Structures are given as C-alpha cells and as structure tokens.
Amino acid sequence: MSAEKDKNLAPEKITTKDLARSWFRWWYANEIPHSFDRYIAPSLLWGLMPILRKLYKKQEDLKEAYERHMQFFNTQAIWGGGTILGITASLEEARANALYEGREDEAVSAEVINSTKLGLMGPLAGIGDAIDSGTVQYILLAIALPWAQAGSGLGALIPWIAFVTLTYIYGFYFVKLGHRLGRAAAVEIVGGANIKKLLNGLSVLGIFMMGILAASYVKVSTSFKWTISGKEFVLQNILDQVLPGLLPLVTVMGVYLYFTKKGLKITQALLGLSVILGILAGIGLL
C-alpha cells in the first residue's frame, strides 16, 4: 500500500459543522423509522452517516460501522439522543484513528461502542423525560394559555415554537459535550453530584405546574340547587365553601386514576370523560 493511498484512507477531523449536521439529521428523523426489532436505530445511523463517512474510508470498515448502529436503540431525543450521538461520534473517531495507525489492539472495540449506547439510553431518557416532558413544556403552556383564552393564535404557536427552539439548542450543546468528553460526558451528566437534586427539584416543579394548570384551566361546576323551607341552596356555593376547585380536582384525579389503572389511553379517556360529563349535564348536575 503506497503512502499516498494511506493518506487518502486517513480519517478526517470531525468539526462542529459535522456535529451540527448529524444533530439536525437525528433531531429531524428520530421519531420516523420505528420498527419492532430496531426501534429508532435507523435514525441514529442516519444522523451518524456524515461522520462515519469521514472516519472510515475503507468500505469494509464503513459497512461494519453501519451494521453496529442498526442494532436496537431507543432513548429520549434531546438529553439521550444528543449526548449519545456526541459520545458515539467521539468513540468512533478514536476507533477510526487507531485502526488507521495500525493500533488494532488499542482501538475502541465495537462491543464498547454498543454497550456504551445501551448503558446510557435508559438513564438519559429518564432525565430527558423528567425535564422536557415533565417540566419545560408545562411552564411554556402555562405562560401561553392566557393568550389562547384571549383568542390569540400565539397561545397555540408560542409553546410549540419555544419548546422546539429551546430543546434544539441545548440538545446540540449535549452533542458537543458528548463529543468533547467522550464517555466521561455520561459521568458528568448522569453521575454528577447535583443531578439527583436537580431531578427532584424539577419533578416537584413539574407537579406544581400541572396543579396550577388544572386549577386554572379545568372548568367544572355544578348548577344543581334545591329549596328547603323557602330557602334556596346552591350546591356549587356549598362546595366552594368546603374546598374551592373541588370538582376540577375530582375530575383531574379521576383521569389520573384511569391512566394509572388502564394505561395512557388518551382517546378512550377523552371519550369516556365526555360521555360522563354529558350525562351529568343532561340530568342537571353540571
């Protein structure tokens, strides 16, 4: 093999532009190619393809890289996907350089790359779900709901635009962090001394936000009233004296218990709730 050919086979340096391109591809496609045996592994591979093509100039090495990233993979898109994408790119870069330099024994093995992905996808997904789905989106919804109630289209657009923008920005930060630190990034994110306190605080904040939304925007009241000895009693006034917002609370807790027992069957819950509230309204209780 000539020196010129060796140079042509040398892995190229991974730049911030490469990471940005891979991040966009993963972010765009992560929910598209679901399958039973691979789940969203094709999304990760599609995101990594520009990087893998710069690292592996031998077709057999590139083929092996493609095959190992088509194995089962599933995680949360931002915290899990961003961090793992960066770490995987870093490990692949180290492996490619070692193979090119003839240090096969020192190269990061395919088993290490796969086990790193599999080991991180669960813990990072839990963090991402707690922060993105359990906290950030509720804060944005609470900010925008008054606009929606006032009839402004911004109430529908702003939460979506803000959520997409925010998660995209800090997701790309995780990609760069993962690439810079390699597997040590996982220790910094998952094993940091303050991560449990952060997650606990965000979980409590998320519960508060859900309670605020339920109390402010779930409107359930009763029109039932009766007369005794010429005095009229209004059930809603009595309930407000006992516990303001009792009926919205009962409604929310009922839906929560349904989800706990039956699973997250949203369509069935909506239909069932509509039927129940319709019957109660028909007989004059609501």
* Token pair 């990072």: residue: 124
Cross-strand partners of 69: none
What whole-number distance in Å separates Cα of residue 42 and Cα of residue 127?
23
Alpha helices for the chain (secondary structure H): 3-8, 16-29, 41-55, 59-68, 79-100, 110-128, 137-149, 154-181, 184-190, 195-217, 235-242, 246-262, 266-282
Nearby residues of 114 by Cβ (< 8 Å), 6 or more positions away: 68, 71
Task: Please give the model's pTM, rounded to 2 decimal places.
Answer: 0.66
* Token pair 């129940």: residue: 276
Residue 134 is encoded by which pair of tokens?
């359990």
Q: How many other β-carbons are positioned within 10 Å of the β-carbon of residue 247?
A: 19
Q: According to the per-residue pLDDT averaged within each range, which of 80-84, 214-218, 221-225 is highest?
A: 80-84
* Token pair 């319709």: residue: 278
The pLDDT value recorded for residue 3 is 44
pLDDT tens per residue, range 184-215: 655 455 445 555 565 556 556 556 666 666 66
Q: For residues 120 and 87, is the Cβ–Cβ distance under 8 A? A: yes
Q: pLDDT: is 47 or 194 the higher one? A: 47
Q: How many other β-carbons are positioned within 10 Å of the β-carbon of residue 87?
A: 28
**What residue spans define the domains of the chain?**
3-209, 219-282
What whole-number distance in Å separates Cα of residue 3 and Cα of residue 137?
55
What whole-number distance in Å separates Cα of residue 25 and Cα of residue 85?
11
User: What secondary structure letter does DSSP report for 131?
Assistant: I
pLDDT tens per residue, range 24-42: 999 999 888 888 788 899 9
**264: helix, strand or coil:** coil
- Taking all residues of the chain, what is their mean pLDDT, rounded to a whole number? 82
HEC profile for 24-71?
Answer: HHHHHHCCCCCCCCCECHHHHHHHHHHHHHHHCCCHHHHHHHHHHCCC
pLDDT tens per residue, range 226-283: 888 777 778 778 887 877 778 888 888 888 888 888 876 778 888 888 888 788 877 7
Poorest-pLDDT segment among 18-22, 117-121, 173-177: 117-121
Q: For residues 139 and 145, is the Cβ–Cβ distance under 8 A? A: no
* Token pair 């109430």: residue: 155
Average pLDDT over residues 167-180: 92
